[in-house]
Structure 1
Amino acid sequence: MRSNRIRTTVLAATALLAALSLTACSDNASGDSSKAGAAAPAGSTTDQQSPAATTQDTGKGSKDTDSATSKTPAGNTAANSKVSTSGTGGQKSNTSATGNSSSSPVTCTGDNTKVTVSKVSRPINHLLLTATNTASRPCYAYHAPALRFDDAQAAFPVLRDSKPQAVVTLQPGESAYASIGLFGESDGKDLNKSEHLTVYFTGRNDSGSTGSPAELTLPADTYWGNNGFVTYWQSDMADALTY
């Protein structure tokens, strides 16, 4: 009987241990399942952040697109403005050209210049003519001035060797110069005394005079001879006085 009780106790203990073992396994299984279930939402949450990142990327793309769109009209406007400015510049240039056309040079005469005559120390026996443009437009001082002392019958000789390479052009306020060699060595004592000098301007074809002459009073005790000369108009005073 005692032996049966011990066996019965052992079996009961074994059964209890088996039951506890099964309960523990069940609890462990439930715990693992719960843990697995808790991990899954975390993974889902992480997955749900991807669209947010995509949305940000899309936003940036949208912003870039908007920015590019807003910049493009500005660039076009600047380009259009630049083209318009260039067009205005072209019109301004045409207007300027028209202005230049209306101010094209004319022939220098006594009407648009102030002429003076003065005595110089070097070279000796020389006078200097100065013609200054007093008008508002340029003028050409063609060839040489034609001179007449008092009531002389003939014009004073012109020194052909003094011809410049180009016609002298006077802008408003600028001057041209011509020197007068009063007489030559061969004139000797056959000299003429004069008090007045008439200066005529020649035209482009060097045939006769053009415009109004200039009437000048000569320096005191001015004598001239038939072998004297007048130079062509020069743009530089020194050039005129080299003859």
Structure 2
Amino acid sequence: MRSNRVRTTALAATALLAALSLTACSDNGSGDNGKAGAAAPAGSTADQRSPAATTPDSGKDAKDTKDTDSTSNAPAENTAANSKGSTSGTGGQKSNTGATGNKGTGNSSPVTCTGSNTKVTVSKVSRPINHLLLTATNTGSVPCYAYHAPALGFDDAQAAFPVLRDSIPQAVVTLAPGQSAYASIGLSGEPDGQELHKGTNLTVHFTGKSNQGSTGARAKLTLPAGTQWGDNGFVTYWQSDMADALTY
């Protein structure tokens, strides 16, 4: 009986130990699983907080983006300023062009003096004797060149009046609008006793730069009363000063 009781007690103890072992295993498993389960959310939380940890970088990126946008706007502002400046410049040019047009000097390049852009007159002078003074005044809106000497024709004379080569000026005479050029006409020259012709009309031809024939419109004038001219007379080159013209 005692042996059976001992065996029963031993079996009971063994069963109790097995139950305790199972309970311990179950508790340890639940604890590990619970700990692991708790760790997982913690890890997940860390992962969720990772973007928060990169927030400073994100802010920096945002700042960089803002700076980039600001920089990209700068050329647009500069372009607007340049466009405004260009418009202003264009306006200035337009204004200058308008002013030039109002003054009638849009084309200010000099042209050749002719009978169409000058007023030509002939007058008698007291000194030197037997001389006439020819005056050509620029009536145009731009300067003109009085090239070489005028080619003169008295009445129905077939030959042009002789030109005095010694009267060539140092430079071509340029007339601004309203200015005049002068040439003197020696009605008679050496030798004395030459035949004189009574003059009534005078035709004035202008010459071009090449001095080959006449150019442009001519001027037809009435000579002062009592004018007489000889074949040995002369006309000077155009001069910018009246006194220079009358020295010959």
Give the TM-score band, short-chain normalised: 0.5 to 0.7
Q: Is the 8 A contact 1:131 1:175 kept in 2?
A: yes
Aligned equivalent of 1:109: 114
**Is the aligned partner of 1:132 residue 2:137?**
yes
Give the 3-state SS of the residue equivalent to 1:210 in structure 2: strand
**For residue 118 of structure 2, what is the amino acid of its counterpart?**
T
Pick closer, same or farther for the CA change 1:222–1:92 going to 2, 3 Å: same
> TM-score of the superposition, structure 1-length normalised?
0.61
Preserved contact between residue 118 and residue 138 of structure 2 (Cα < 8 Å): yes
**Unmatched 5+ residue regions in structure 2?**
1-80
Residue among 223, 227, 233 paired with 1:228:
233
1:204 and 2:209 matched: yes
Amino acid at match of 1:169: T
CA displacement, residues 130-152 of structure 1 (integer Å, 9 cap, x when unaligned): 00011111111000000000000
Q: Return the alpha-carbon distance in structure 1 between the equivalents of residues 203 and 217 of structure 2.
A: 10
**For 1:103-147, what per-residue CA distance to the aligned partner results, in whole angstroms no more than 9, with x for missing partners?**
211110000100000000000000000000111111110000000
Q: Indicate the residue corresponding to 2:64 in structure 1.
A: none
After superposition, the Cα gap between the structure-2 partners of 1:94 and 1:214, relative to the gap in structure 1 and judged at 3 Å, is same
Number of aligned positions between the proteins:
165
2:193 to 188, 208, 213: 188
CA displacement at 1:91 relative to structure 2: 4.1
Instruction: Tell whether 2:158 aligns with 1:163.
Output: no
Given that residues 133 and 174 in structure 1 are in contact (C-alpha distance below 8 angstroms), is that contact kept between their aligned partners in structure 2? Answer: yes
| RMSD after superposition | 2.9
TM-score by length of 2: 0.60
Distance (whole Å) between structure 2 residues aligned to residue 104 and residue 93 of structure 1: 21
Deviations 1:205-228 (A, max 9, x none): 000000111000000111111111
Letter in 2 for 1:213: R
Q: 1:1-243 residue pairs with structure 2 within 5 A?
A: 91=93, 95=97, 102-243=107-248
* Other structure's SS at 1:207 match: coil
1: distance between equivalents of 2:161 and 2:184? 12
Q: Unaligned stretches of 5+ in structure 1?
A: 1-79
Q: CA–CA distance in 2 between the matches of 1:161 and 1:90? A: 50
